């Protein structure tokens, strides 16, 4: 089993992924800005300001690092604050994990992420992906889910409305458009757990169909 470091463990996907990884028998470390409750008992928490994460990570022996980091522009307060988390913090976390020995990096991105996109959100997500590629991990897994469904701590009106309509919208999104369908965070979490067992080197992009297929391999 692997020594795994995860950032973003208090979010929708991160919490579910923590449970899946522990159930799979991995030794899981979380790097957090504040102590979290309700996590599996075997998870080791490393609490520090995000600026101090590299120092904390340097003391660990890591095989695999996972980023479930992400926010919204509304919650962050500005585009610059959003960029600080979804681009700069992701890149700094990955760089520290690579220095600590991580050979594989798994990252939750977004469907349509592209550094050349005109949309700020998708452009930022794309730039984060580019930054991760530049670090040249032995294996890089980029997960691009559609609309994530699950119980969030904060209320997001736009997402809540989209999730309410998702059963009808998903029926219309077929063929190549399946990548835009909604998907449960629990499925993405099981996908992450399956990817932690993969060893083939390279850069891999996983959209909805691949995410569901990988999750099916991890039926916990």
Q: How many domains does the chain have?
A: 1
Whichever domain contains 24, its CATH number is 3.40.50.720
Of the candidates 105, 110, 97, the one whose C-alpha atom is nearest the C-alpha of residue 53 is 97
**pLDDT tens sequence across 69-125:** 999 888 899 999 999 999 999 999 999 999 999 999 999 999 999 999 999 999 999
One DSSP character per residue, 102-168 reads --EEEEE--TT--TT-SSHHHHHHHHHHHHHHHT--SEEEEE--SSEES--SS--HHHHHHHHHHHH
Residue-level pLDDT at 82:
96
For residue 44, report the phi and psi dihedrals to the nearest 5 degrees: -95, 120
pLDDT greater than 80 at residue 220: no
For residue 110, report the phi and psi dihedrals to the nearest 5 degrees: -150, 145
The answer to whether 208 and 187 have CB atoms below 8 angstroms apart is no
Which range, of 7-21, 28-42, 196-210, averages the lowest pLDDT? 28-42
Residue with structure tokens 């309700």? Answer: 38
Burial class (CB in 10 A: 0-12, 13-18, 19+), 134: exposed
Q: Which two tokens stand for residue 97?
A: 């994990």
Per-residue confidence band for 218, with pLDDT thresholds at 50, 70 and 90 = confident
Domain range for 141 is 3-217
């Amino acid at each position: 089993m692997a020594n795994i470091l995860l950032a973003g463990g208090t979010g929708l996907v991160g919490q579910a992924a923590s449970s899946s990884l522990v159930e799979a028998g991995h030794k899981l470390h979380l790097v957090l800005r504040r102590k979290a409750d309700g996590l599996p008992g075997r998870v080791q928490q490393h609490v520090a300001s995000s600026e101090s994460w590299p120092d904390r990570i340097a003391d660990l022996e890591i095989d695999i690092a996972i980023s479930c980091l992400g926010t919204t522009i509304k919650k962050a307060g500005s585009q610059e604050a959003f960029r600080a988390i979804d681009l700069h913090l992701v890149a700094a976390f990955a760089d520290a994990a690579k220095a600590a020995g991580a050979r594989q990096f798994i990252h939750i991105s977004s469907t349509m992420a592209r550094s050349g996109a005109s949309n700020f959100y998708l452009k930022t997500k794309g730039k984060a992906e580019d930054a991760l590629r530049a670090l040249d991990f032995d294996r890089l897994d980029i997960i691009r889910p559609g609309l994530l469904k699950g119980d969030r701590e904060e209320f997001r009106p736009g997402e809540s409305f989209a999730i309410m309509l998702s059963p009808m919208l998903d029926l219309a999104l077929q063929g190549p458009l399946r990548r835009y369908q909604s998907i449960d965070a629990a499925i993405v979490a099981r996908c992450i757990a399956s990817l932690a067992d993969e060893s083939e080197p390279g850069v891999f992009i996983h959209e909805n169909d691949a995410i569901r297929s990988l999750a099916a391999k991890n039926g916990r």
